[in-house]
Amino acid sequence: MQPQPQSPAPSPPSGNLLIFFLLAFLVLVGFQQIRTYLSPPIPKAEETPGEAKPNNEKSTYRLPVLTKPTVEPSLLVLGDESTTMRVVFDPRGAGVRRVTLNRFRAADEDGRPTSEPLDVVPASSNTD
């Protein structure tokens, strides 16, 4: 029996890949065309820029009444100097008036620590 000559390794079919991409592109474009044919887009109503709708009713807008600032005794305080955090809540508008971290120290203008606790949310920025 004679040995048969080996054929070179088959190359990948590049033509099939090209046909696949071409068919995929045609399917996507064809689907878009069929979709617009079966359900066309709704035309937009044209409005002229000079045409204004008449408003026969007079508007009666009233500004809300301004409330007075909350007095200090009605503020809600969670925590104290012995805990990690001290938070002061303002019942008006459910706001946070002040947040202080007691275990961290504030810094001065040069970056050196001071003896005061660190105010994450200072009270001076949240008062009227």
pLDDT level of residue 72 (50, 70, 90 thresholds): low
pTM: 0.42
**Domains of the chain: which residue ranges?**
72-125
- In single-letter form, the type of residue at position 28 comes to L
pLDDT level of residue 34 (50, 70, 90 thresholds): very high
Higher pLDDT, 13 or 68: 68
- How close are the terminal C-alpha atoms of the chain, in Å? 105
For residue 98, CA distances in Å to 6, 10, 45, 76, 87 come to 85, 76, 53, 11, 6
Angstrom distance (rounded) from CA 20 to CA 22: 5
25, two tokens: 């592109």
Other Cβ atoms closer than 10 A to 34: 10
The sign of the dihedral angle between the CA atoms of 35, 40, 42, 45 is positive
- pLDDT per residue over 16-25, tens digit each? 888 999 999 9
Strand partners, 101: 85, 118
What's the pLDDT score for residue 44? 82
SS3 98: strand
